[in-house]
A and B are shown apart, each in its own frame.
Chain A
């Protein structure tokens, strides 16, 4: 019983790093992994080239992670992995690999169409994602040290709150709300007279991300 519970307390995360944008997400997701480890989660870290379809399907089938955290590029109907290989699309959803899972997709537009499919056809418990492109600022000179990039932090730190809140046992709704609440707080700060340059210029992207971040499925879903 204990082994079963431990196996279910697991996080599967995809972290491709084949271009500057995914590289940023690769590094910023490390913070989430660290917290997952502290909480005793088994981590299925599909980093770099491991973020491919075969590996993903294999891990989901064999280890049945309850929480899936996707980083990478996307569109209305796909979530991509390393080198933009399609990881999730309609056909995968139909294989019932997503049943009962809580999913956060930090990729562009996947909430526009795919989210609905994942929840209705795929029977995912809950899905948090973005209906339009997810955006953030970065600063030159931090390509090899994205975690020190204060411009990127403005957006990526509050977006990390979604998986962190879920790992801490919060519901999907609570995770969504917590992230949006933090983004709003940062947005208001970015509009203040003491905002930094990068805060002021991040404001339009923050607002866009807040407006486009959606939750579908069971708001009370937990892992």
Chain B
């Protein structure tokens, strides 16, 4: 892993490291969500704009949203998503 990747890393509750690359990706993926959809997670509801703020702030909610996104992408690319369990 290169040095650029080691910058600004945070460990989340799920054990996922939030790099700048991941954060940028999640921000853009969230921007693609229609603005009239809200995310209900961890007992709260967030609009697309609110979710973006959380991700940019790298707080608990933002990191969780980022983790859910990256885990989805990893399962997709590894093919795990097609497995039954």
Contact = CB atoms under 8 A, between A and B. Distances in A.
Given A21-B45, A204-B68, A135 B39 contact: yes
Interface string B41-79: 111110100000000000000001000110110010000
A136 B42 CA distance: 10
A74 B68 CA distance: 19
Contact of A108 (B34, B43, B68, B71): B43
Given A20-B45, A108-B43, A133-B41, A204 B36 contact: no
B40 interface: yes
Given A139-B37, A201-B37, A203-B72, A133 B81 contact: no
Contacts of B71: 204, 207-208, 211
Nearest to A156: B40
Given A21-B44, A201-B33, A207 B39 contact: no
A21 B69 contact: no
Contacts of A138: 37-38, 40, 45
A138 B40 CA distance: 7
B40 A207 contact: no
Interface string B1-38: 00000000000001000000000000000000110111
Interface residues of B, number: 22
A207 B37 contact: no
A134 B64 CA distance: 11
Interface in A197-211: 197-198, 201, 203-205, 207-208, 211
Interface residues of A, number: 31
B69 to A, nearest CB: 6
B31 to A, nearest CB: 12
Contacts of B45: 19-21, 138
A132 interface: yes
A22 B66 CA distance: 23
B40 A21 contact: yes
A205 B39 contact: yes
Contacts of A184: 84
A140 B42 contact: no
B15 to A, nearest CB: 11
Contacts of B41: 108, 133-135, 205
A208 B81 CA distance: 11
A35 to B, nearest CB: 23
Contacts of B42: 108, 133, 135
- The 9 A-B residue pairs with the shortest CB-CB distance, nearest first, are A204-B72, A135-B41, A73-B43, A140-B36, A133-B42, A20-B45, A138-B38, A208-B68, A21-B40
Interface of B: 14, 33-34, 36-45, 47, 64, 68-69, 71-72, 75, 81, 84
Given A138-B37, A201-B37, 5 more contacts: A19-B43, A21-B40, A135-B40, A204-B68, A208-B72
